[in-house]
Amino acid sequence: MTTREQNDFLALTGPGTPMGSLFRRYWIPALLACEIPEPDSPPVRVKLMSERLLAFRDTNGRVGLIDEFCAHRGVSLWFGRNEEDGLRCPYHGWKYVVSGQCTEVPSEPVESGFCQKIKLKSYPCVELGDVIWAYMGPAELQPPLPGFEWARVAAAHRFVSKRTQDCNWLQAMEGGIDSVHVSFLHRHDLRSDPLHVGQGAEFTRETDARFEVVETAGGMVIGVRRPATPGNLYWRITQWIMPFHTMIPPYGDNALNGHAFVPIDDETCMSWCFTHHPMRPLSDHELGVMRNGGGIHVNLIPGTFRPVVNKDNDYMIDRIAQKQHKSYCGVKGIAMQDAAIQESMGPIQDRTKENLVSTDNGVIMARIRLRKAALAAQRGEAPDGLDPATHAVRSAAIVLPAAASFYEAAADALRATAGVAHTSV
Ligand code: FES
Ligand SMILES: [Fe+2]
């Protein structure tokens, strides 16, 4: 049983918390590159793990991620003027560059050197795969850049979106590795969503699912098998990569999908959604579906990353569709079904009250792995999942003879190899 202490240990990620310190050892998806599209474009507020920050692109195209608030008297630099290689506070004109260094305090004589003593907190950023990643940990421990296949393929092979979710990161991430819920929560969408059709979708509707979890260097693979053709089993194999990346098993020739569940604060997270095809550019049809909230992506309120369907409108639940077996839970769209169910657990799920069963094995093992990693990081050890080679993996959907070990039989399918198609039925 989970105690309150264990629940908090895993859920809370603010500065100084064990899990927050662990997360700060990794590169974190912070914002979409297109949010600050060009030099001197308007700055953007970014909240990460309870820290309020501001992202901007300076006149030379360099990206800065600095404390949101001016060191003078605390004005939000979101109102700032982004010009001449820095961000100027609109209240009294103090100016900051991407490193957070203050370079001008107009009220003080230049000779005083006052501005040199002022520096805002700032974090290194890198642009990779249409995403600006931030590193918020100790400078001497900065890891190599991420090696996820979706971030490394040509831009035309990839579609990235993000949406806010009104719940703690952990219950969202746990939904990503709970492959069994697909047979229930999403069962009717497996026939109607154009990016989820295929033979595998029919097998997935089978509710007799068994779990096998194998630990890997960077996380774990979760194999879920269901009866397929006589003598064979249909395996859906999910990847979990520390600390919050998941890769969803594909259907047919559809692209691969994955998520990252990044804490905004303890009661809100950003669900990043990554779709990519290793072999070909995404088609206009696929892009059209995703831009219209299909697949794992959702429609957003214009100018925000908040879904149109959200808890304030009861997720526009359609009780008639639910009754008529058109939607298992009555919420439209796979992504919003997940979000609605996860948010319904409350801002931070109270795990002291849950009753876990054998199909929760992936969830249980991820919690153990995260706790161990946070404790090891406290002792100064490097956590798993920092090596980019551990990111270069794929999910898979495969039919195997009943006697086969899924992890051995699917070994090639689980590696991201450039020029080799993913394995999907
Ligand atoms: S508060 Fe920013 S310059 Fe005064
Ligand atoms: Fe789901």
| pLDDT tens digits for range 32-70 | 999 999 999 999 999 999 999 999 999 999 999 999 999
Cα(335) to centroid(ligand 2), Å:
7
Mean pLDDT of 416-423: 94
Mean pLDDT of 88-94: 98
Give residue 175's pLDDT band: very low, low, confident or very high (50, 70, 90): very high
Inter-CA distances, 94 with 59, 63, 111, 113, 382, Å: 17, 19, 16, 13, 39
Three-state secondary-structure class, residue 387: coil
Cα(69) to centroid(ligand 1), Å:
9
Mean pLDDT of 225-244: 94
Give residue 206's pLDDT band: very low, low, confident or very high (50, 70, 90): confident
Three-state secondary-structure class, residue 5: helix
Cα(76) to centroid(ligand 1), Å:
9
Mean pLDDT of 160-172: 98
> Which residues fall within 8 angstroms of residue 113, CB to CB, at 6 or more apart?
none
Inter-CA distances, 357 with 172, 173, 360, 361, Å: 18, 18, 5, 8
> Which residues fall within 8 angstroms of residue 389, CB to CB, at 6 or more apart?
147, 217
Cα(184) to centroid(ligand 2), Å:
9
| pLDDT tens digits for range 378-392 | 998 999 999 999 999
Give me the numbers of helices (H) and strands (E) for the chain, helices first please: 11, 18
pLDDT at 392: 98
| pLDDT tens digits for range 129-151 | 999 999 999 999 999 999 999 99
* Nearest CA, atom 1, ligand 1: 73
Confidence check: pLDDT of 181 > 80: yes
Helix H or strand E segment including 369: helix 361-378
Per DSSP bridges, beta strands 219-227 and 232-241 are: antiparallel
Backbone φ, ψ for residue 420 (5° rounding) = -115, 130
Dist. CA 132–CA 134, nearest whole Å: 7
Give residue 204's pLDDT band: very low, low, confident or very high (50, 70, 90): confident
pLDDT at 387: 97
pLDDT at 202: 76
pLDDT at 100: 98
130: region left, alpha or beta (phi > 0 left; psi from -120 to 50 alpha):
left
Confidence check: pLDDT of 1 > 90: no
Ligand 1 atom with least separation from CA of 94: 3
Q: How does DSSP classify residue 388? A: G
Mean pLDDT of 169-181: 94
For ligand 1, residues with CB inside 6 Å are 70, 72-73, 75, 89, 91-94
Tokens representing residue 227 in the block: 């009866």
Cα(60) to centroid(ligand 1), Å:
24
Mean pLDDT of 276-304: 96
At 254, the amino acid letter reads N
CA of residue 423 relative to chain centroid, distance: 23
Q: How does DSSP classify residue 370? A: H
Dist. CA 187–CA 191, nearest whole Å: 8
| pLDDT tens digits for range 71-85 | 999 999 999 999 999
Contact 92/77 with Cβ under 8 angstroms? no
> What is the pTM for the complete model shown?
0.96
Q: How does DSSP classify residue 381? A: P
Mean pLDDT of 85-113: 97
- Number of residues in the chain: 425
Mean pLDDT of 284-310: 96
Dist. CA 369–CA 38, nearest whole Å: 40
Mean pLDDT of 168-174: 98
> Which ligand number lies closest to the CA of residue 77?
1
Ligand 1 atom with least separation from CA of 105: 3
Residue 176 buriedness (CB in 10 A; 0-12 / 13-18 / 19+): buried
pLDDT at 323: 94
Average pLDDT of the residues of the chain: 95
Please, where are the H alpha helices in 52-153? Answer: 149-152
Helix H or strand E segment including 409: helix 406-409
pLDDT at 197: 66
Interior angle at CA 83, CA 78 and CA 89, nearest 5: 40
Mean pLDDT of 146-159: 98
Tokens representing residue 49 in the block: 């793990």
Does residue 243 have a cis peptide bond before it, meaning omega lies within 30 degrees of 0?
A: yes
CA of residue 4 relative to chain centroid, distance: 25
Dist. CA 184–CA 80, nearest whole Å: 49
Q: How does DSSP classify residue 146? A: P
Tokens representing residue 90 in the block: 């609109």
Confidence check: pLDDT of 304 > 80: yes
pLDDT at 259: 98
* Nearest CA, atom 3, ligand 1: 92
Give residue 191's pLDDT band: very low, low, confident or very high (50, 70, 90): confident
Ligand 1 atom with least separation from CA of 89: 2
Give residue 189's pLDDT band: very low, low, confident or very high (50, 70, 90): confident
Tokens representing residue 274 in the block: 């990554």
Backbone φ, ψ for residue 86 (5° rounding) = 180, 175
pLDDT at 199: 67
Ligand 1 atom with least separation from CA of 77: 2
Query: Residues whose CB is under 5 A from ligand 2 (ion)?
Result: 338
Confidence check: pLDDT of 201 > 90: no
